[in-house]
Amino acid sequence: MQFALVNAHAEDQIWVARGTYYPTNSSDTSISFTMVDNVNLYGGFDGTETSISQRDWQKNVTILSGDIGVKGYSSDNTVKVVIAANSVIDGFTISDGAMNTKKQAPMKGTSNQNAMEQGAPSMGQGESSMGQGKPPMGGQGGSGRGERPSMGSNTNSQLPETNTVSVGHSNPGAITAGDAASSSNGNGIIIWGVAPTIKNCTITNNQGGKGAGVYIQGTKDLDKLPTFINTTISNNVATGRGGGVSIDMMSSAIFIDCVFDNNECTEGKGGAIYNDFGCSPLLENCLFINNKAQSGAALGNDGVSCPVISHCTFYNNTASEAGAALYQGTGPFNDPIVINSIIWGNYCTQDKKTGIASGDFSYGQDSVAYGAGSDGSSWENAFTSLQNAINYAGAAYSLKNQPVDIWVAKGTYTTGNKRSDSFVLRSGVTLFGGFNGTESTLDDRNSDLNITILSAEIGDTSIKTDNSYHVVIGADNATLDGFTITAGYADGIDGQIYDTKGGGLINYLAGDRVRPDITPTLGFDTVIVNCTFSNNYAEEGGASYTYHGGNPKFTNCSFINNKAQYGGSTVDRAGTNAIYTDCSFTNNNALYKGGATFTDYGSMSSFYNCSFSNNKSGTAGGAIYVIDRASQEIPNKTDFELIDSTWSNTNDIFSAVYIENSTFTANIAGTNGGAIYIYDGSYAKIVDSDFTKNVASDAAITANNSAKVYIDIKTSFSNNAPENTLAEDKKSSITFK
């Protein structure tokens, strides 16, 4: 069959008759079936067909086997059976790849015969195997699949990429070293930087260190994902992570109508599937049964891996330590989305159930999951949980790459039951509030009349210290439109820094993403429209906190009565590029600095047609406080050219604010800068704006410690106290231009 692959042309189809095929006649265990881009492989023929529709791949079993030596003797098997390409593999059993572990005695009655026979009848008109007139492959009457291989010590010269015990932690450099041919992962099929379609296949009886059945790596920048359809992955055994499947390095895959049965990870995580380093596969209508591992017997997630699991069933999976069905690791934000699925009868060792699961796994009409897929299709059967609706919409976007809108009726929606609960936005999803529950078009809503509240008030309403820390957690490519966001209380009493920031909205991912990006960005590009942030508290950023390269956009939003120690309503920090248009900041209060907003560490905050009134800080910056200190280059597209067109994003990184057509009225600073305080090498540019009745000990606008402020001649000042409306130290400058 390899001869056929090598001699095929682009867009050819290779038809393969039933039987068993081996990648080599030799004893070289490094030789695999190497697929070719755009050459599609179809098994399941009896040798008489003239069209693909005539084949019966279930009856005419066609096996690609790594059992190249003594049959049933795994130590001399080929390491990998198939090396994938950008092509289709349809109708095969892929089996007996092995990383050459502990030897077992050969089975009686076996021989080392090779089944690569040719001579099946040639094709009629229509599709050919390798161009017109070339015969398909033969090979009927091959050997069976043998017994499930036993595991043991690794004696093969091809070691796992860690070059150590395979259950330990790896690193990006080790994982990406080499290529598909040199890797010893993926003993059934290895997918390395390509996106094949695997359909109507069985991947079984493979053994190795990581991803014994399937290993996927290097797909994060591809236009499409590896896709598995109607495929069974069974009886694969790994000493490392991922008995059935292992996915690494921000790669992903789609599994539709697949079965994961009796796979095992003997010394690690992920009996059926293991995801690490930001890998989030999509699983639709899949069955996980009888899988085994120390942790995550069915599915293990580490390193910010967030699979989407829809209409799946997990039954009779067994873990010896934790997570019989799902294991979420110990790091931040392993956050799977599970929708309309059944997780039942899975066990850890102390509560282990013996026996093998079998039977009908379809929904019964008395199941709570029966018909649940119709939730949210109309007002009559709307979701009763807003977070479930968000999760379902996020999964739909991930599967179809089509944005999803959620309409939310008037009323108050609370975050959950715990202080750590929040509404978590999902990429590709827009939430619209302001409906009365009868509308048929978006234009019918009246968000001013139909107040829709997202609240962190989950406990005793007479106190705030039992409220959720954050009302909303943002997401890239997500929009919130027409809501009141209130009562977040980010006091972080448990010592979690993340939970001291952004009482209304926290707009970055907690901790390190643990992803192999050279320059990872933690901040989100959330879009907030027609929203009110009121009565939220945090130590930093009472209403909103964005960090590390986020690009939030706030349009027609109101920030009212929010409080913090720094940044009464908002904090933009560490390379954030925030844009506020037609927004109002009223009665916000900072104990120390930035009564309304606080801009820090090389961030830029831009304000267009905004109003700041009656905001207060205990020390500097009654409305706005800007500090540059130790600014660091963080990957982002920041609009520094608004301040100075000669600046370069790669060479000049400063904290800055740009203010246009905005008003500052009756803001108060306890010490300096009744309206604005610019400090420590920061910049500000103020265009066509008005400053009235702002109060501080020195001026309405203060520049200190090498700060620079540019003010155009259209900007006006009146009735500020004291009369000196501008103040600067010897290192700073305030320039009219």
Kindly state the DSSP code that residue 173 receives in the 8-state scheme.
H
pLDDT tens column, 664-719: 999 999 999 999 999 999 999 999 999 999 999 999 999 999 999 999 999 999 99
**Any residues with CB less than 8 A from the CB of 424 and at least 6 apart, and which?**
335, 387, 390, 472, 473, 475
Asked if residue 727 is part of any domain, the answer here is no
State the chain's mean pLDDT as an integer: 85
In a shared domain, residues 192 and 251: yes
- Nearest CA among 655, 708, 653, 665 for reference residue 690: 665
Asked if residue 396 is part of any domain, the answer here is no
Asked if residue 78 is part of any domain, the answer here is yes
In a shared domain, residues 352 and 247: yes
Asked if residue 236 is part of any domain, the answer here is yes
Q: Residue 577: what are its φ and ψ, rounded to 5°?
A: -125, 95
- Nearest CA among 379, 480, 375 for reference residue 431: 480
Q: Identify any residues that bridge with 625 across adjacent strands, giving them in sequence order.
A: 598, 677
Kindly state the DSSP code that residue 731 receives in the 8-state scheme.
T
In a shared domain, residues 31 and 85: yes
> In this model, does residue 641 exceed pLDDT 60?
yes
Q: Can you tell me the distance from the alpha carbon of 529 to that of 17, in angstroms, rounded to the nearest whole number?
A: 60
Here the CATH number for the domain that contains residue 622 is: 2.160.20
**Could you tell me the CA-to-CA distances from 69 to 98, 111, 142 in Å, in that order?**
12, 9, 14
The three-point CA angle 57-61-66 to 5° equals 125
In a shared domain, residues 221 and 356: yes
In a shared domain, residues 625 and 583: yes
> In this model, does residue 229 exceed pLDDT 50?
yes
Q: Residue 534: what are its φ and ψ, rounded to 5°?
A: -135, 140
In a shared domain, residues 137 and 210: no
pLDDT tens column, 557-611: 999 999 999 999 999 998 899 999 999 999 999 999 999 999 999 899 999 999 9
Q: What is the pLDDT of residue 412?
A: 98
Q: Identify any residues that bridge with 718 across adjacent strands, giving them in sequence order.
A: 692
Which pair of structure tokens corresponds to residue 638?
A: 């920041």
Asked if residue 335 is part of any domain, the answer here is yes
Q: What is the pLDDT of residue 128?
A: 26
- Is the distance from CB of 578 to CB of 605 less than 8 angstroms? yes
Q: What is the pTM of this model?
A: 0.71
- Is the distance from CB of 130 to CB of 137 less than 8 angstroms? no
Asked if residue 541 is part of any domain, the answer here is yes
659 pLDDT band (50/70/90 cuts)?
Answer: very high
Asked if residue 684 is part of any domain, the answer here is no
Q: Which of residues 129, 145, 161 is at a domain's end?
A: 145
Q: Can you tell me the distance from the alpha carbon of 656 to that of 626, in angstroms, rounded to the nearest whole number?
A: 7
In terms of residue numbers, what domain contains 132?
Answer: 1-145
Domain count for the chain: 3
Q: What is the pLDDT of residue 671?
A: 97
In a shared domain, residues 545 and 596: yes
Residue 237: half-sphere exposure toward Cβ, Cα within 13 Å: 16
**Any residues with CB less than 8 A from the CB of 601 and at least 6 apart, and which?**
573, 574, 575, 628, 629, 630, 631, 632, 655
Asked if residue 723 is part of any domain, the answer here is no
Q: What is the pLDDT of residue 100?
A: 66
In a shared domain, residues 491 and 573: yes
**Any residues with CB less than 8 A from the CB of 445 and at least 6 apart, and which?**
407, 432, 434, 435, 436, 439, 482
DSSP 278-344: S---EEES-EEES-EEEE-SSEEE-SS---EEES-EEES-EEEEE-SSEE--SSTT---EEES-EEE
Q: Can you tell me the distance from the alpha carbon of 227 to that of 206, in angstroms, rounded to the nearest whole number?
A: 20
Q: Which of residues 121, 145, 169 is at a domain's end?
A: 145
Q: What is the pLDDT of residue 494?
A: 64
> In this model, does residue 1 exceed pLDDT 50?
yes
Q: Identify any residues that bridge with 726 across adjacent strands, giving them in sequence order.
A: 701
In a shared domain, residues 24 and 107: yes
**Could you tell me the CA-to-CA distances from 389 to 293, 383, 404, 714 in Å, in that order?**
32, 6, 10, 48
In a shared domain, residues 3 and 131: yes
Q: Which of residues 145, 175, 206 is at a domain's end?
A: 145
**Any residues with CB less than 8 A from the CB of 422 and at least 6 apart, and which?**
415, 416, 456, 468, 469, 470, 471, 472, 473, 506
pLDDT tens column, 422-477: 999 999 999 999 999 999 999 999 999 999 999 999 999 999 999 999 999 999 99
Q: Residue 248: what are its φ and ψ, rounded to 5°?
A: -130, 155
Which pair of structure tokens corresponds to residue 494?
A: 């448990």
Three-state helix/strand/coil letters over 598-611 = EEECCCEEEEECCE
In a shared domain, residues 446 and 563: yes
In a shared domain, residues 7 and 99: yes
